[in-house]
Amino acid sequence: MQQPINVFKFGGASLRDADAIRHVGTILDRFKDQRLVIIVSAMGKTTNALEEVANSYWNGKPDVAREKLGAIHAGATQAMKDLFAEVPEELTAAVNDLFVSVEWALEEDPNEEYDYDYDQIVSLGELISSHIVAAYLNRIGLPTSWLDARDVIQTDNTYREGWVKWPETVERAERLVPPLLDSTPFVLTQGFIGNTSENYTTTLGREGSDYSAAIFSYCLDVEAMSIWKDVPGVLTADPRYFENVTKIDRLSYREAIEMTYYGAKVIHPKTIKPLQNKSIPLYVRSFIEPDLEGTYVTDEAGDAYPPMVAVERDQALVNISTRDFSFVAEHHIKELFEHITTTRLQVNMMQNTAISFNVVVNDIDDRVERFCALVDQHFKTTIDRHLELITIRHYTPEIVDSLRRGKVNLLEGRLPLTLQMVVKDVPVIRRKKEEDVAL
Ligand code: ASP
Ligand code: MG
């Protein structure tokens, strides 16, 4: 019988430099008898650097854009030199071609759509890292086929947030991936990127490589998917901001989706649905200590869960009230929701009173301004910015008290399992151990 397929995903931190890539090689060496589809992110902070290239270009500073791109190219070249005693010629050629294609694009005037230009430039990071890692695995005796994820993942043309066209994507994955796995045990491809029907590159949203891995997992109906992280697994809160966090051993899809949707950054929120739909288990594991168990996410509801905290920053609270003091009636809500949809506002919380409607949204680009301009005819709006949304699953009075301390609470919502609060102007400072309740 043929070996089952597993999907592994390695993020930017695990591919930060030559040493990190070597470490990935040692992890993969343990799985050399398996059939693996490996999804990689861009190395380290390359995507942020490419965003700066895109912004300089768009803001009419092509020279700055070129200079920043040059620095990224130099960084990639250095990583290759560090990684290989002798850099394979085909690798140098492939990487140079990728940079040249973006250099040429920077010679042209920007397109009318920022998001389009952004995707053509920012997608470079995953293309480069995938070439480097695949060449390295081949060099160390782990035969690996390089696959262009854009040949598989098809999306609409919502640039920077491509929506997956599932039937097309499934058909391509089923047709293209198994033959590659017949020729080499490993297939390596990019996270984060997709392709439109006109053959333009799209991206799936920042940190979207996890989602790419889930898309491949779904399409190939794999045995399991593993995300290799720089943390031991899913934790009860973000260890950068909270002391006393603990690892959760088992998590249901439901819990995982609730927490990641509200800002638990350990997994991209879109990752869970494709896995849940095919009952594919997810392992979140430490690439630093690969022998540890990590967190296992499945169908099974876990036992009693500890309180878990997620913090989402850059939130805006928009208070909307009718101009003529009339109640916020159903037809008003319908109108507001239409504008929420057209401006792609992502709503995290809602609450209404007789004459006002309050939404808490992710404050992205100028979406809130565009929304307020659209509703201006019938509604007055006020915006409160730079807020944090704190979500606590399985809350206890002690946790709630401890998190409220020293904060201005602007809005609160409670359901039996979830408590959410929107708080003002409190930079999340590292909390002192003695003030903290254990998480
Ligand atoms: N490289 C992309 C980003 O940094 C995608 C990812 O890492 O998941 O957003
Ligand atoms: Mg990343």
Query: Does residue 280 sit within a domain?
Result: no
Residue 404 lies in a domain: yes
Ligand 1 centroid – CA 21 distance (Å): 17
Q: What is the pLDDT of residue 437?
A: 60
Output the residue whose Cα is nearest ligand 1's atom 6: 207
- Based on the domain organization, do 221 and 313 belong to the same domain? no
- Both tokens assigned to 271: 């990752």
Q: Are residues 141 and 39 in the same domain?
A: yes
- DSSP notation for 284-301: EEESSSTTS--EEEESS-
Whether 206 is in the pocket of ligand 1, judged by its Cβ within 6 Å, is yes
**Could you give the angle at the alpha carbon of 261 between the alpha carbons of 408 and 339, nearest 5°?**
80
Give residue 376 CA to ligand 2 midpoint distance, Å: 38
CA separation, residue 126 to residues 132, 148, 176 (Å): 10, 10, 20
Per the structure, the complete domain to which residue 354 belongs is given by 308-425
The per-residue DSSP string of 319-380 comes to: EEEETTS----HHHHHHHHHHHHHTT--EEEEEE-SSEEEEEEE--TTHHHHHHHHHTTTEE
CA of 42 to the centre of ligand 2 (A): 7
* 78 and 165 share one domain: yes
Q: Using the mean position of ligand 1's atoms as its centre, give its distance from the Cα of residue 232 in Å.
A: 20
> Do 35 and 165 belong to one domain?
yes
Tell me the pLDDT of the chain (439 aa) as tens digits. Answer: 689 999 999 999 999 999 999 999 999 999 999 999 999 999 999 999 999 999 999 999 999 999 999 999 999 999 999 999 999 999 999 999 999 999 999 999 998 899 999 999 999 999 999 999 999 999 999 999 999 999 999 999 999 999 999 999 999 999 999 999 999 999 999 999 999 999 999 999 999 999 999 999 999 999 999 999 999 999 999 888 888 899 999 999 999 998 888 888 889 999 999 999 999 999 999 999 999 999 999 988 666 899 999 999 999 999 999 999 989 889 999 999 999 999 999 999 999 999 999 999 999 989 999 999 999 999 999 999 999 999 999 999 999 998 888 888 999 999 999 999 999 865 555 454 555 566 6
Distance 13 CA to ligand 1 centre (A): 10
pLDDT of residue 261: 87
Do 312 and 211 belong to one domain? Answer: no
Give the chain's domain count. 2
Is 268 inside any structural domain?
Answer: no
Tokens of 53: 């290239």
- The answer to whether residue 71 sits within a structural domain is yes
Rounded distance, CA 410 to CA 421, Å?
Answer: 7
Q: Which residues of 9-20 are buried (b: 16+ CB within 10 A; e: fewer)?
A: bbbbbbbbebeb
The count of C-alpha atoms lying within 13 angstroms of the C-alpha of 216, restricted to the half-sphere facing its C-beta, is 35
Query: What burial letters (b/e) apply to 325-335, b meaning 16+ CB within 10 Å?
Result: eeebeeebeee
Residue 320: CATH number of its domain: 3.30.2130.10
Ranges assigned E (strand) in 132-287: 144-147, 186-190, 193-195, 201-203, 224-229, 250-252, 282-286
Residue 92's SS3 state is: helix
Q: Is residue 236 part of a domain?
A: no
How many C-beta neighbours within 10 Å does residue 348 have?
19
Tell me how far the alpha carbon of residue 369 lies from the centroid of ligand 2, in angstroms: 29
User: Do residues 169 and 219 make contact, with C-beta atoms less than 8 angstroms apart?
Assistant: yes
Given 178, 204, 229, the domain boundary residue is 229
Whether 44 is in the pocket of ligand 1, judged by its Cβ within 6 Å, is: no
Residues 78 and 222 placed together within one structural domain of the fold = yes
Q: How far is CA 262 from the centre of its chain?
A: 13
Of all helices (H) and strands (E), which one includes residue 50?
Answer: helix 46-58
Mutation pick for ligand 1 pocket among 9, 46, 50, 207 (CB with most ligand atoms within 8 Å): 207
pLDDT at 2: 81
Q: Are residues 71 and 193 located together in one domain of the fold?
A: yes
For ligand 1, whether the C-beta of 274 sits within 6 Å is: no
Q: Is the pTM of this model over 0.95?
A: no
Looking at 229, 251, 269, the residue that finishes a domain is 229
Q: Tell whether 260 is covered by a domain.
A: no
- Whether the Cβ atoms of residue 195 and residue 254 lie closer than 8 Å to each other: no
Residue 231 in contact with residue 266, Cβ under 8 Å? yes
What is the position in ligand 1's atom list of the atom closest to the CA of 211?
A: 8
The verdict on 44 and 175 lying in the same domain is yes
Per-residue pLDDT at 407: 85
User: If we measure between CA atoms, which residue out of 268, 267, 266, 263 comes closest to residue 389?
Assistant: 263
Report if residue 254 sits inside a domain.
no
In a domain, 234, yes or no: no
* Residue 130 beta carbon below 6 angstroms from any ligand 1 atom: no
Q: Indicate if ligand 1 lies below 6 Å from the C-beta of 10.
A: no
Kindly state whether residues 222 and 331 are assigned to the same domain.
Answer: no
Distance in Å, CA 400 to ligand 2 centroid? 31
Rounded-to-integer distance, Cα 262 and Cα 271, Å: 14
Please give the biggest Cα pair distance in the chain.
74
Mark whether 13 and 151 lie in a shared domain: yes
Containing 239, the helix (H) or strand (E) segment is none
- 221 with 314, same domain: the answer is no
Ligand sitting nearest the alpha carbon of 203:
1
Q: Do 336 and 217 have their domain in common?
A: no
Cα-Cα end-to-end distance for the chain? 45
Which residue bears the tokens 């262009």?
148
Residue linked to tokens 């059939």: 35
Residue 80 maps to which CATH number? 3.40.1160.10
Q: Is the CB of 207 under 6 A from ligand 1?
A: yes
Nearest ligand by distance to the CA of 46: 1
The protein residue with its alpha carbon nearest to ligand 1, atom 2, reads 207
What is the spatial distance between Cα 188 and Cα 287, in angstroms, rounded to a whole number? 17
Using the 3D structure, point to which of 186, 203, 229 is the last residue of a domain. Answer: 229
Q: Residue 204: CB within 6 Å of ligand 1?
A: no
For residues 89 and 21, the answer to whether their CB atoms sit within 8 Å is no
DSSP labels for 161-175? SPPB-HHHHHHHHHH
Do 205 and 364 contact (CB within 8 A), yes or no? no
Q: Is 260 exposed, middle or buried (0-12, 13-18, 19+ CB in 10 A)?
A: buried
Q: Tell me if 41 CB under 6 Å of ligand 1.
A: yes
Could you tell me if the CB of 42 is within 6 A of ligand 1? yes
> For residue 229, how far is its CA from the centre of ligand 2 (angstroms)?
10
Distance 40 CA to ligand 2 centre (A): 9
H or E segment and range at residue 317: strand 308-322
